[in-house]
Structure 1
Amino acid sequence: MGIADKLFQLKNEKAQANLKEGEDFLSANKQREGVHETASGLQYEVLMLGEGAKPTANNKVTCHYHGTLINGTIFDSSVQRGTPATFPLNMVIKGWTEGLQLMPTGSKFRFYIHPNLGYGDRHVSAQIGPNTTLIFDVELISFN
């Protein structure tokens, strides 16, 4: 077995371990009071419910967010940077596109995102490996 084969095998083993860990977490998480699950498998909690309009996938949204792994490791946070992010809602991971459309402006939700609604089997950063389950606290500030 060559080096490339070993690296592929290690990536595949890590992807399978991450998937199992995330699915076990999500299976237990959806039993908690206040956690809702959509048909796609997106889980969310309403932390604060705003009273504004809801965006569609074609809107550009401005929000603050804080992203962690299921072990609590922070991998990205506009809150820590002190600057909200603005982006087209149809240009982000599926879990965000779906979840933000559930949110009235002024709301803060927590999303629990299965890899199928996140980055899938891609290794996207030092913290986010293949098949990583993600947790985001997202506050919808505005959209246009």
Structure 2
Amino acid sequence: MNDPGTTGLLIAAGLTVVALLLLLYTGWARRGRSAAAREWMGNDFGSRTQDERMTVLGAPLLAVMCLCIALGILPTVGRYLMLVTFPIAALLFLPFLVVVLLPFVPLPNFVYPRWARPLRERNRQSETAIRAALRRRR
């Protein structure tokens, strides 16, 4: 493993596999054809904010960043691709941080799949009802 070309190829292959797995998960979860695929939207007790944000925007952004870095690491053409892919990855890093670290910033409805929008509203209403019930208990 002293050859930098082989090491670069292995790292690029690993990042590509991670990116493809993230994209496959996102596609499966967004289609929501099974109960397991809809699990990230929460249940009757409210939403799973972090799961929602990562499934809707976080995982696809991370996948594109992994692909950009994988293209930049390639042994012969990587130094040329790096001029394009690393700025793209850097520009995607800020929205990724906003999605992950700032859960109080609401995501617009258009980033959610159609089947998830009514569930999102239901989760909001149930959380409001739970908060109101807790306030009445005090």
Superposition TM-score tier, normalisation by shorter sequence: 0.3 to 0.5
TM-score by structure 1 length?
0.31
TM-score by structure 2 length?
0.32
More helix by share: 2
More strand by share: 1
Which is higher, the Rg of structure 1 or of structure 2?
2
